[in-house]
Copies of this chain bind each other. A is one copy, B any other.
Amino acid sequence: MRDITLRDVAELAGVSPRTVSNVVNGYAQVAPATREKVERAIAELGYRPNVLARNLANGRSGQIAVVVPYLDTPYFAELLQAIIPAARKGGYNVLIDQTDGDRQHEGELIGRGSRGFLFDGMIISPLGLSQQDLTVRDLALPLVVLGERVSDGTFDHVGIDDIAASTDAVTHLISLGRRRIAAIGDQPYATGEAAQLRTRGFRAAHAAAGLPVDESLIISTARFNRIDGVTAMAALLDREDPPDAVFCYSDLVASGAIHTIVERGLRIPEDIAIIGYDDIEDGRYSHPTISTISPDKTAIAQLAVERLIMRIGSPGPVPGVELLAEHRLIPRQSTLGRAAP
């Protein structure tokens, strides 16, 4: 199909190309009858105004990329649901990419990739990338990083205070009289920063209460999924001395752990109390409802988008900052029992 041009529309409508351009760009100074003629011609020819050409002229695509490891993880889905309207309010469309946490894919996105730059800036929640990978990125790309990375001064980082939040979660279990507390979700390898911060909070809460940590109760998992919780909980219940409480590094892990506990005929929280992390909607409706740490997702989205737009519009380098959103402990049935919300 030969591409329809502005000139074709002008010819069919019997007006000048300038007039067609005025209609396409929504300028007001076009007589209604003329506008209608042009619009009819546009419709008849199936003309598509050349946005790419327009972007080329001003050097902006009007798009920001938001890159998450998994779209079907409720935490990321809820975060995206908050980021999109914030970006739109700032005049940007959102191009979403998901990486499966693959280091190479993530690296291409923040590097001088063959994928090129169809976006003006990026918000990324990296899983595979190490801190080191982030420092060798393309510095020309305005970047805001979510999750548990530390800014090296060239990008902004938005998150919550993971250590404090994890300490709050475990302190809640201790305050309920639990003493054999397990942790599910540790990731002691290079890129497991999020998990490692949560493990530090786990230790900090024990230290603050003068309790020893049973190292064998800290269970590593590959990801933060339901299946990881199912498997890890089964291993904990197979022990001679199972825990009386578990701090799960995500609500999905908690959901999987609860699944295993209920299948074994044990009671929550009487036999084992469970607390998760993320405050996804699922945990508010499940049985039992899941006690959790609730990061302020709206604030995270807002901070990330505002900061990125500022960065895109800035004529010179902008120093990277750490931005912390609030978090709250939300106790529910999985620690407080049936009387709880």
Contacts and interface: CB of A to CB of B under 8 A. Distances in A.
A222 interface: no
Nearest to A56: B52
Given A81-B70, A140-B46, A282-B282, A287 B262 contact: yes
Interface in A271-290: 281-282, 284-287
A74 interface: yes
Interface stretch (A94-102, A127-135, A203-211): A94-102
Contacts of A285: 226, 230, 255-256, 259
A226 B285 CA distance: 8
Contacts of A95: 63, 93-96
Contact of A96 (B43, B96, B256): B96
B77 A72 contact: yes
A319 to B, nearest CB: 15
Given A71-B77, A95-B95, A285-B259, A63 B116 contact: no
A337 B312 CA distance: 56
A141 B1 CA distance: 12
Nearest to A98: B84
A154 to B, nearest CB: 11
Given A46-B140, A72-B74, A56 B53 contact: yes
A110 interface: no
A138 interface: yes
A72 B284 CA distance: 15
Interface string A63-86: 100000011101001101100100
Contacts of A94: 95-97
A295 to B, nearest CB: 15
